Structure 1
Amino acid sequence: MTTTPATENMIELRNVTKRYGAATVVDDVTMSVRRGSITVIVGTSGSGKSTLMRMINRLVPITSGHISVDGKDVMDVPATELRRSIGYAIQGHGLFPHRTVAQNIATVPQLLGWDKARMDRRVEELLALFRLDAATFADKYPHQLSGGQQQRVGVARALAAEPEVLLMDEPFGALDPVIRGKAQDDLLAIQRQFGTTIILVTHDMDEAFHLGDLIAVMSEGKLLQCSTPEKILTEPADPFVQQLTGTSDRALKLMSLLPLKESMQPIKPGLTYGLSETLNLRDALAEMIWQGVDEVAVENTAKAPVGSISMERLLQLGKRS
């Protein structure tokens, strides 16, 4: 077996190419995915982003190049074994219609030979994690769930066997905007809890900026740039990248990436309104405009003031962005 020394990178792609006849769908892509991070692959339809991701769990055969997961070359691991060790969630959720919610979630643990008590505990744990009451939902069938509930069950099933890697292909694409935003926040909270390495494919740049530690931009099979959200916005490597991120709201997008905690001013006594230090600058600005206040206290989780921020300061930071 080809094994590389353990590094901080969970997934390595080296010169990965996929051809169908004369057509090159993925063209010589090299990138690294850090352990415990979220990497979002974006691009227009036909850019090769889903094909690239599906080569990681060998749902699509690799034409040339090498992919390793946790130091092991994926071609040295039997495909069925590889797929059981990597969670996979897709748009439409891919739930088995004639299996209950509990049975759907337990699919991979059952294939791995877990005993019933262990499977039942894991199902209950995941239902609780996704705020789905076991007594209410465990025995329901997918058609009895809302779109948002189906999405949560789909992600729960992908996480059931405690994989270190989770691949997600447009998982929120079918959800309405309000449910979609909540689903994204749920994913961030769960990823922080488990430290799962996630690769997520989307065509939605706002989703990419909200979720990604790194954003990989693809076009016509090529990887144009793989950088932090800040660098994608401030140092686009290609005109297509700049076009994809947009120009009119660039300052607001950058403000959404900057934490209020790192931009606050010293504590100022007498301020009657407070904002959580966990907000980003864009949300802080929106809240201050909504409340009609020029200056607020910045509070920690215990609601104690740790600083302040003024409208003038926020606007200066926005212009600098």
Structure 2
Amino acid sequence: MTAHETMIEIEGVTKRYGETVVVENVSLSVAKGAIAVIVGTSGSGKSTLVRTVNRLVPMTGGKISVGGRDIMSMPATELRRGIGYAIQGHGLFPHRTVAANIATVPQLLGWQKARVDSRVDELLTLFELDPAVFRGKYPHELSGGQQQRVGVARALAAEPEVLVMDEPFGALDPVIRGKAQDDLLAIQKQFGTTVILVTHDMDEAFHLGDMIAVMSGGRLLQYATPEKILTEPADPFVQQLTGTSDRALKLMSLSPLKQAMEPARPGLARSLSQDLSLRDALAEMIWNGVDEAAVENEAKAPVGSISMRRLLQLGKRS
């Protein structure tokens, strides 16, 4: 997989309802295997935009390609079977068991029963839901977090290359929400799925996104890496949405790298001194364009590593 290979290409997409413009001339591309998070306040157009990708909302103008194919060149049903879709509150069928819910799209695609059963069990196991216990349960017998996991498992069931998620964790309490986000990251990494996800929660955007799109009033204000959004907001609204990044960076300058580093990983090209502050480490990594660096002690021996993702998480927690 090449870094620049594009999976989702959104070009000049506009959506109007009568005279009201809900999405205005938005263009962005999502690389294969990346997570793009669209963030904005209520009414910013973010949910409408992602729903144009699987044609749940028809565009008024513009073009969208998924995997190099114009989405208008195929029947909507075919398009949607190839794109996983997960929403807030999970949208499970209440009168179907967990197994039947997850099997929905594979069955539509005509998979053999053995293959469907094995996929259901694989996904339940991945989400730490014992198949023997959960296959036959109904949605109302599950907790909110379990329902959400089944919702995401259903979206992933037919091995889609693209997963569209609209506020998928919005209804979960903060503790379960963090776990659900980590589940998503682990599973996305395992399958190499390309994800486009909507949230109003900037912390969630920083935690999950390889790229973040900030929308307001139907327009795209900035589409950039989390570190760019944090350090070079393109608009006062972006700065406001990320919180006072000055405060986060000031707090990062008081936190030593050696207290935040992760285990050492061989083969990292760039190294940083453990005596740097988190802010200085972030600045060095942005300057050198690296996502991960080794951490060395005074004797230049590797004692750990640090990733951009972890630094940004720590920065947002500040």
Alignment of 1:122-133 (within 5 A): 122-133=119-130
Give, in whole Å, the separation in 1 of the partners of 2:93 and 2:175.
26
Offset, 1:307: 1.9
Give, in whole Å, the separation in 2 of the partners of 1:154 and 1:29.
28
Post-superposition Cα deviations, 1:101-151, rounded to whole Å, max 9, x if no partner, equal 000000000100111111001001111111100110000000000011001
Is 2:13–2:27's contact at 8 Å kept on the other side of the alignment?
A: yes
Is 2:55–2:76's contact at 8 Å kept on the other side of the alignment?
A: yes
Alignment of 1:125-204 (within 5 A): 125-204=122-201
RMSD (Å) for aligned C-alpha atoms: 2.8
Post-superposition Cα deviations, 1:21-43, rounded to whole Å, max 9, x if no partner, equal 00000000011101000000000
1:239/1:200 CA distance change after superposition, 3 Å: same
1:107/1:249 CA distance change after superposition, 3 Å: farther
Post-superposition Cα deviations, 1:251-286, rounded to whole Å, max 9, x if no partner, equal 279789x9836665379xxxxxxxxxxxx959xxxx
Q: 2:248 aligns with which of 247, 250, 263?
A: 250
- Give the number of the structure whose alpha-carbon radius of gyration is greater: 1
Is 1:87–1:163's contact at 8 Å kept on the other side of the alignment?
A: yes
1:12/1:178 CA distance change after superposition, 3 Å: same
Post-superposition Cα deviations, 1:226-261, rounded to whole Å, max 9, x if no partner, equal 0000000111111110111111643279789x9836
Give, in whole Å, the separation in 1 of the partners of 2:23 and 2:37.
16
Is 1:89–1:169's contact at 8 Å kept on the other side of the alignment?
A: yes
1:254/1:228 CA distance change after superposition, 3 Å: farther
Give, in whole Å, the separation in 1 of the partners of 2:37 and 2:160.
18
Offset, 1:225: 0.3
Aligned to 1:260: 261
Aligned to 2:303: 307
2:273 partner SS = coil
Give, in whole Å, the separation in 1 of the partners of 2:99 and 2:250.
42
Is 2:261–2:304's contact at 8 Å kept on the other side of the alignment?
A: no
1:75 partner SS = helix
2:177 partner SS = helix
Is 1:264–1:307's contact at 8 Å kept on the other side of the alignment?
A: no
Alignment of 1:16-165 (within 5 A): 16-165=13-162
Q: TM-score, normalised by structure 1?
A: 0.80
Is 2:36–2:213's contact at 8 Å kept on the other side of the alignment?
A: yes
2:179 partner SS = helix
Is 1:233–1:254's contact at 8 Å kept on the other side of the alignment?
A: no
Is 2:22–2:217's contact at 8 Å kept on the other side of the alignment?
A: yes
Code of the residue aligned with 2:249 in structure 1: it is A
Code of the residue aligned with 1:28 in structure 2: it is N
Structure 2: state its 5+ residue gaps.
263-269, 280-294, 306-310
Give, in whole Å, the separation in 1 of the partners of 2:197 and 2:49.
11
1:127/1:253 CA distance change after superposition, 3 Å: farther
Is 2:209–2:226's contact at 8 Å kept on the other side of the alignment?
A: yes
Give, in whole Å, the separation in 2 of the partners of 1:253 and 1:26.
37
1:96 partner SS = coil
Give, in whole Å, the separation in 2 of the partners of 1:249 and 1:102.
47
Structure 1: state its 5+ residue gaps.
1-6, 268-279, 283-297, 300-304
1:249/1:93 CA distance change after superposition, 3 Å: farther
1:75/1:177 CA distance change after superposition, 3 Å: same
Is 2:46–2:198's contact at 8 Å kept on the other side of the alignment?
A: yes
1:260 partner SS = coil
